[in-house]
Structure 1
Amino acid sequence: MKYVSVGDMAQTYTMRNHNAQLKTTMTRLSEELVTGVAQDVGAAVGGDFTALASITHSLQRIESYDQAAKEMALSTSTQQTALETIQTHAQSVGSELVAAGTTGVSTSVDATLQDAAYRFSSIVQSLNVSVSGRYLMSGVATDTRPVASADDILAALKAETSGMTTATEIIEAVNDWFDQPEGSGSGFLDEAYFGSTTATSAVAVSETESAQLTVTAADPAIRNMLKGFALAALATDDTLSETARAALASSAGGQIINAENALTTTRANLGSVEELISDAQTRNANQKTALSLAQLDLIGVDEYDTATALEAVETQLETLYTLTSRLSQLSLTDYIR
């Protein structure tokens, strides 16, 4: 009978080779058990990547829609907060101005007008709100602050009303200044509004929906609101007669109340856009879940089978370590003894 002997170095190499193979298999199985995805994707799809590529592309597209929806949701929410702040100021002072102007009590008129003048500055600041360096009330000119400061607006109005002493004259001048069309060379749109009257383009937030920010600081509802508060701020001029100041207070209050009603409509329209974005995000999430499950059907692994195979490899590796230990202890000298 012939015997084939295996040298020590060859035996060591064989053991090392088995050890490396088992460790590689264990690493692969461990990764598949954790991720739930086959490491060899080509084998999992049988070499046909058509369906997998289509699903991957759809997931990437939905991810881009979802990112756009998140950004639009932040922008609309910020705009809504700014408009809410403006509306709160209007609700707080509108009726009080009318009441103060009607009663004509000097101290009441003064206090209410001063309060409105302070709120005017806060309203202007709300219109200059920005997100990630983009001004939201500037239309397409997102890199430009939309509205001049309250002090600059009042300075322009004081120049327009210089020398006027009656409430009728001042009210007419203020109305004309705010209502001047763009490009006339004077008025709010040319002197105090730095943004664009063109709204930003619609942004796709899902496969079927697009959202657009259409509110700008040049909108009539917002201009009329500014008009009312500017009238109240101008009425704080103590060189005017008490009668004129009371009349201005009453007119400013009425203007603010009317503008507040229009602002409610603006906020409702913006709320519809917020709802559209929210619905789109929900649909995107549902589609993403469905596509992820379809992807897992193609390249996923059975957790039970993978865990069983991993346990078998662990047993083989332990057995190999045991054999290696025993073989290393064999010695001809020990056998002869």
Structure 2
Amino acid sequence: MNFTSIGDLAMGLQMRQQNQQLKEHLTRLSSEVISGVRQDVGAAVSGDFAALSGIERGLRTLEAYKLSTGEAALFTGTLQTALGQVAEMGAGLGVPLLAAATTANPVQVDTLAYTARQKLGAMVGALNLRVADRYALSGAATDTPPLAGAGTILSALQGAVAGASTVSDIADAVADWFDAPAGGGGFLDVAYQGAAAGLSPFLLGEGDSAELALTAADPRLRAALAGVALAALLDDGLLGGDTLARGQIAERAGTWILNAEPGLTALRAELGTTEARIDEAATRNSAEVAALKIARNTLIGADPYESAAELEAVQSQLETLYTLTARVAQLSLADYL
């Protein structure tokens, strides 16, 4: 019988090689157990990366849509809050103005005129909101506040009513100033500082987008501001000394404010519809991401139970190799003899 033996040096090299191979195998299995993804992706897809590439591209695209829908949700949510504040401020002023006009109480009219001035400033501030470092109601000019200050608006209105002497003339002058088209020297030229074009649509998905074209120049917002501005003019001494006429102006202002409420409600309802579309798109995209991740895991996922069993076997082999190496290292010629 023939026996083949190897020398000590060759045996040492062989054990080191086996040790290295087992360690590499151990590292690969440990990574697969932790990540749940096979290390050799090429073998997992049999060299055909087309399906995997499509899945990865879909996931990256959906990640971009996730950012866009998140920003759109932030915009619409903040806008809804601002419009709610404007509506509440108007609602809290309209009825008291009508009541003051009915009682013809000059002190009450004066107090409400002062309140109207304060609320006009607050409404302008609410509409000049910034979301994600962009002005939401300036249209395409997102780096510019949409409205000039309340002082600028009232100064322009004082000039508009300067030649008016009756309640009707004053009310008509204020209404004309707010309704004047661009170039007519009214609200759109003096108060509105944004762009005529609306904000660029937010992409929600493949072929789906949400358009937020609302600006502070919207006629419904101008109507809400007009009634409050008319009442605020009384705080500047409009028709001073004529208690009856001042009460009639307060009545007109209160009526305008209440008449503007349905428009604000419709505006908030439209915004709510957009919010619902954004939420639906975000839910749909999340479901698609989950489906793509399942498909990717089917292609390149590592079986956790199989990987764990192999890992246990490799650990056992490595321990056995260390034991044999230690015993071989203790061998000597003296012990053999």
TM-score, normalised to structure 1, is 0.95
| TM alignment of 1:1-337, pairs within 5 A | 4-162=4-162, 164-184=164-184, 186-238=185-237, 240=240, 241-336=242-337
Cα RMSD, aligned residues only: 1.6
1:214 deviates by 1.9
Query: Equivalents in 2 of 1:333, 1:161: separation in Å?
Result: 120
Shift of 1:208: 4.5
The letter for the 2-side match of 1:309 is E
TM superposition shift of 1:291: 1.2
C-alpha distance in 2, partners of 1:143/1:222? Answer: 21
Displacement of 1:257: 0.9
Distance 1:272 1:13 in 2: 73
Q: CA deviation at 1:294?
A: 1.0
Measure, in 2, the Cα distance between the counterparts of 1:165 and 1:235. Answer: 14
How far, CA to CA, are the matches of 2:324 and 2:91 in structure 1? 87
SS at match of 1:235: helix
Amino acid at match of 1:231: L
For residues 183 and 198 of structure 1, the distance between their equivalents in structure 2, rounded to whole angstroms, comes to 16
Amino acid aligned to 1:101: A
Q: Deviations over 1:283-304 (max 9, x none)?
A: 1111111111111111112111
CA offset at residue 334 of structure 1? 3.7
Deviates more, 1:237-246 or 1:29-38: 237-246
> Any conservation in 2 of the 1:158–1:234 contact (CA below 8 Å)?
yes
How far apart are residue 164 of structure 1 and its match?
4.0
- Residue ranges of structure 2 left out of the alignment (5+ in a row): none
* Structure 1 residue 111: Cα displacement: 1.7
* Percent identity of equivalent pairs: 47
Match of 1:27, as an amino acid? Answer: T
Is the 1:68–1:204 Cα contact (8 Å) retained in structure 2? yes
Partner secondary structure for residue 205 of structure 1 = strand
Q: Using structure 2 for the length normalisation, give the TM-score.
A: 0.95
Letter in 2 for 1:175: A
